[in-house]
Structure 1
Amino acid sequence: MEDYRIRESFMEEFASDGVIRLANEDPELFALLDLEHQRQVNTLSMVASSSVADPSVLACEGSILTNVTTEGYPGRRFHGGCKYIDEVEKIAVERAKLAFGARYVNVQPHSGSSANQIVMFSILRPGDRVLGLDLDSGGHLTHGSRASFSGQVFESFAYGLDETGRIDYDQVLDLAKRHRPHLIICGASAYTRVIDFERFRKVADEIGAFLLADISHIAGLVASGVHPSPIDHAHFTTTSTYKQLYGPRGGLIMSGRDWDTQISGSKTLAEVIHSGVFPKMQGTPTLSGIAAKARALAIVNTTQFRTLAQNIVSMAREFGEVMSDLGYCVLTGGTDNHMVLVDIGKRGLSGKIAENVLEESGIIVNKNKIPGDKRGPLVTSGIRFGTNSLAIRGMDAAMKDCATLIDKVLSRVEPINDTDYRIESYVVDEVKNSVIDLCRRYPLPHYEKQQVLL
Structure 2
Amino acid sequence: MTDYLAGLRAQDPAVAELVGEELARQRDSIELIASENFVSLAVMQAVGTPLTNKYAEGLPGKRYYGGCWAVDKVENLAIDRVKQLFGCNFANVQPHSGAQANYAAESAFAKPGDAIMGMDLSNGGHLTHGSPANFSGKLFDVQSYGLDPDTERINYDEVAERAQRCHPAVIIAGASAYPRLIDFERFAKIAHDSGAILMVDMAHIAGIVAVGLHPSPIPFADVVTSTTHKTLRGTRGGIILWNDPAYSRRLNSAVFPGSQGGPLEHVIAGKAVAFAEALRPEFKTYIGQVLINAKALGRGMESRGIRLVTGGTDNHLVLADLTKVADGQVSGKDAEQALERVGITVNKNTIPGERRSPFVTSGIRVGSAAATTRGFGEQDCERIGELIGDVVAHIDDERVLDRAEAEVKELLAPHPLYPELG
Residue 450 of structure 1: how far off its partner (Å): 6.3
Structure 1 contact 232–255 (Cα < 8 Å) conserved = no
1:344 alignment counterpart: 322
TM-score by length of 1: 0.89
* Per-residue deviation, residues 267-325 of structure 1 (Å, max 9, x unmatched): x2012111111122211000000000000111010111011111111111122122212
* Per-residue deviation, residues 154-185 of structure 1 (Å, max 9, x unmatched): 00001111121110111100100011111100
Residue 369 of structure 1: how far off its partner (Å): 0.3
**Aligned length in residues:** 416
1:302 alignment counterpart: 280
1:326 pairs with one of 289, 304, 314: 304
| Aligned-partner SS, 1:342 | strand
2:342 alignment counterpart: 361
Q: Which has the larger radius of gyration?
A: 1
- 1:408 counterpart = 2:390: yes
1:10 alignment counterpart: none
State, as a whole percentage, how many aligned pairs show the same letter: 44
Question: Structure 2: where are the runs of 5+ without partners?
Answer: none
- 1:116 counterpart = 2:102: yes
* Per-residue deviation, residues 40-93 of structure 1 (Å, max 9, x unmatched): 011100000101111111111111101011111111111112121110000000
1:377 pairs with one of 342, 346, 358: 358
| Aligned-partner SS, 1:378 | coil
Structure 2 contact 299–385 (Cα < 8 Å) conserved = no
How large is the RMSD of aligned CA atoms in angstroms?
1.4
1: distance between equivalents of 2:176 and 2:338? 23
| Aligned-partner SS, 1:133 | coil
2: distance between equivalents of 1:281 and 1:22? 33
2:225 alignment counterpart: 238
1:248 pairs with one of 210, 226, 235: 235
Poorly superposed stretches of 4+, deviation over 4 Å: none
* Residues 74 and 59 of structure 1, relative CA distance in 2, 3 Å threshold: same
**Larger CA deviation: 25-34 vs 428-437:** 428-437
Residue 17 of structure 1: how far off its partner (Å): 10
Residue 449 of structure 1: how far off its partner (Å): 5.0
1:222 pairs with one of 209, 217, 227: 209
* Per-residue deviation, residues 207-262 of structure 1 (Å, max 9, x unmatched): 11100000000000000101000011010000011111111111000013xx22xx
Structure 1 contact 241–293 (Cα < 8 Å) conserved = yes
2: distance between equivalents of 1:18 and 1:350? 40
| Aligned-partner SS, 2:125 | coil
Residue 345 of structure 1: how far off its partner (Å): 2.0
Structure 1 contact 116–142 (Cα < 8 Å) conserved = yes
1:9 alignment counterpart: none
* Residues 179 and 302 of structure 1, relative CA distance in 2, 3 Å threshold: same
TM-score by length of 2: 0.96
- 1:439 counterpart = 2:420: no
* Residues 145 and 169 of structure 1, relative CA distance in 2, 3 Å threshold: same
1:71 alignment counterpart: 57
Structure 2 contact 300–384 (Cα < 8 Å) conserved = no
2: distance between equivalents of 1:400 and 1:176? 41
2:401 alignment counterpart: 428
1:395 alignment counterpart: 376
Residue 100 of structure 1: how far off its partner (Å): 0.6
2:74 alignment counterpart: 88
| Aligned-partner SS, 1:173 | helix
| Aligned-partner SS, 1:384 | strand
1: distance between equivalents of 2:7 and 2:34? 35
1:292 alignment counterpart: 270
Residue 18 of structure 1: how far off its partner (Å): 8.3
Residue 392 of structure 1: how far off its partner (Å): 0.8
1: distance between equivalents of 2:198 and 2:99? 16
**Larger CA deviation: 185-194 vs 277-286:** 277-286
Residue 122 of structure 1: how far off its partner (Å): 1.6
2: distance between equivalents of 1:319 and 1:362? 16
Q: Which amino acid is the alignment partner of residue 413 of structure 2?
A: R
Q: Which amino acid is the alignment partner of residue 332 of structure 2?
A: G
2: distance between equivalents of 1:145 and 1:303? 38
* Per-residue deviation, residues 142-161 of structure 1 (Å, max 9, x unmatched): 11111111111100001111
2: distance between equivalents of 1:213 and 1:403? 31
**Larger CA deviation: 23-32 vs 335-344:** 23-32
1:21-100 pair list within 5 angstroms: 21-100=7-86
* Per-residue deviation, residues 374-402 of structure 1 (Å, max 9, x unmatched): 11111000000000011112211312221
